[in-house]
Structure 1
């Protein structure tokens, strides 16, 4: 007889060490199946991501699934509070030894009343490995593929540094900072961040933030409070004194040795000059010179963004993973699971 599955909400910051250890075991075991070519992530990194998912205008909620008192599954719910207020983003992970037992569907059923109470009508799942059992499970329950992306990794000690010797184009200068944009560049930096909206996201519903100077300052404050070092490199247009392009990188305190490359964007009026490659190469050189403990950089790029993928490959990044986004209407998901 199949043991009963109990699903209950959890607070990662209040969970005891035994529960967190079981959660870590769940995530490592799942990664070995779903992402076999990636190195095992440390306990500190896995628990750090659980407890500090990063800045953003979201409400976060969490559930664990237990069998005989042991953690066998986990679900994260992200509720955007500004853009796309009708959307709910979810992540569901079930231990490989406990898959095909209905736990994932039980998670969804647990979620439905919560989504109705929050007036959410669309559900989106991110970070699903392309072609995996997770993708197959989602499609079988009424989700549809709406976006695809690739994960890329740069091993800093294994790449010829000459690839990063890229000078800024004429008429532009490079500026850098950690954690706090200069007041003189704040407005144009916020405008430049909005250029990420041009990045292809397929039919995925989740939208990039609408950046304003106040929102930039709030995001910086949240990162500092979480102990995250945020590095920014921008190309400044000499003629106007405004930011023409930017690239951002995060160094969370729990991700030892690995930096997380974030958004890179160039305003449309300044494209075609090699600014993207230049600022990313500058970021790599800066990181190497000041943080010798960092051995790798990870990034994610939309599969249709062939231009940025090509830039990353030219800088030495290697594609290590493909992942997909799935989207479903709440009413359709409920009907599928009730039939």
Structure 2
């Protein structure tokens, strides 16, 4: 390291925020919110320390490790390593953040090396990460970097882009980050829903909040499993996740502990009684102005019936009544997923930025 005043240390995941050893976890969470807020110029992606703690707790499906860079008692950098425990045992996800006032001192590189070494100790040979980039750059400029998929681009002058490439990471994919302002024009969305419903003969919608009905939980687990690889992934080395009813229930319980709620709309194929697809939204009352549009999937055998539009439009109309304080919906889609982007555009989503998916395989040097 080029600096001597900053030290690195691991952070224990505390039992609660009231625990005596929770101070570092809270400070690290606050640093993450600060850096993210400064990048985007708003707090739409703010996550409370309590919600971060619930997400970091080890469970049967994943574990998280956390490190801090500290200038005295002040947290100036953080690294997170996340590893699944039931599938993709060759993979690890790593993410590094440094306070803008402490960049250029080698802190990010040291944090990254620490997390990478831990991943190697756990037998993980493929590392994946992401970086965020607000809109406003020229996507056709001469210095932009394009992913292997060929869809989307990033500003070549970005410090995050330079850091990733200098440390052996390759740009595999670009996702578009989109925002939909509420209230929506109900008549337009209702029209889109009606047009989609006319093409979806033989299907009906099933809706639930927070917990999947017992009669559908096994089928819903299958949808969540297929979602992990049926979406465009480019050359990202990621295998299908292992989902069952226990994992569905664990995810619902974790969301409940975070104080969150979900709204799921699924398409049921009436003749077979098979769930053909789903879409869902997440909402946290502690951040009442923001709603997160999460997964949307239609199984391959049921595509071509406008189920994606039908489910998303229906959910969008319901959410205004369920969570009326929500002012914006946020969502992310692969830049090459033109079908889903077309649906989102029709519903009123507009680009706000881009997220890069980076990958580094064992043996790739800096």
Scaled by the length of structure 2, what TM-score is found? 0.82
The C-alpha deviation readout for 1:126-162, integer Å capped at 9, x for no partner, is: 24434331121010111111121111111112x3222
Tell me, in whole angstroms, the C-alpha distance in 2 between the residues paired with 1:19 and 1:190. 32
Question: Residue in 2 aligned with 1:78?
Answer: 82
Q: Does 1:219 align with 2:223?
A: no
Deviates more, 1:282-291 or 1:121-130: 121-130
2:336 is matched with which residue: 297, 304, 324? 304
Match of 2:10 in 1: 9
1: CA distance, partners of 2:232 / 2:260: 27
Q: Which moved more, 1:19-28 or 1:112-121?
A: 19-28
What's 1:114 paired with?
118
TM-aligned CA distance change 1:56 to 1:91, over 3 Å = farther
Question: Against the structure 1 CA distance between its residues 57 and 127, is the aligned structure 2 distance closer, same or farther, given a 3 Å change threshold?
Answer: farther
1:176 deviates by 0.5
1:18 to partner: Cα distance: 8.3
Distance 1:198 1:22 in 2: 34
- Say which SS state the counterpart of residue 314 (structure 1) adopts: helix
Instruction: Tell me, yes or no, if the aligned pair for 1:195 and 1:266 is still in contact at 8 Å.
Output: no
Match of 1:284 in 2: 316
| Correspondence for 2:185 among 156, 160, 166 | 160
Counterpart selection for 2:107 from 95, 103, 109: 103
SS at match of 2:256: helix
Taking only aligned residues, the RMSD between alpha carbons, in angstroms, comes to 2.5
So what's the TM-score if we normalise by structure 1? 0.88
| Cα gap change, 1:18 to 1:41, in 2 (>3 Å) | farther
Q: Deviations over 1:179-231 (max 9, x none)?
A: 22222222332333334222101122244523333332332233233332122
Larger RCO (CA within 8 A; separation ≥ 6): 1
Matched, 1:178 2:178: no
Residue 147 of structure 1: which of 154, 170, 173 is its match? 173
Query: Hey, what's the Cα distance between the residues in 1 that align with 2:45 and 2:345?
Result: 26
Q: Is 2:319 the counterpart of 1:313?
A: no
Shift of residue 42 of structure 1? 7.8
* Structure 1 gaps, min length 5: none
CA distance in 2, matches of 1:23, 1:234: 34
Q: In the aligned structure 2, how far is the partner of 1:193 from the partner of 1:254?
A: 26
Number of equivalences: 329
Aligned to 1:273: 305
CA distance in 1, matches of 2:352, 2:303: 28
Give the superposition deviation at 1:49: 4.7
Deviations 1:240-281 (A, max 9, x none): 222111101112344322111111001112211111011111
Q: Which residue of 1 aligns with 2:148?
A: none
Structure 1 residues 187, 85: CA separation in 2 closer, same or farther (over 3 Å shift)? Answer: same
In the aligned structure 2, how far is the partner of 1:201 from the partner of 1:18?
35
Contact 1:124 1:325 in 2 (8 A): yes
> Following the alignment from structure 1 to structure 2, what is the Cα–Cα distance between the partners of residues 248 and 8?
38
Give the Cα–Cα distance (whole angstroms) in 2 for the partners of residues 75 and 61 of structure 1. 8
Structure 2 match to 1:51: 53
CA distance 1:202–1:250, shift in 2 (3 Å): same
Whether the 8 Å contact between 1:22 and 1:70 is mirrored in structure 2 is: no
Change (3 A) 1:201 1:4: same
Identify which range, 307-316 or 193-202, moves more after superposition.
193-202
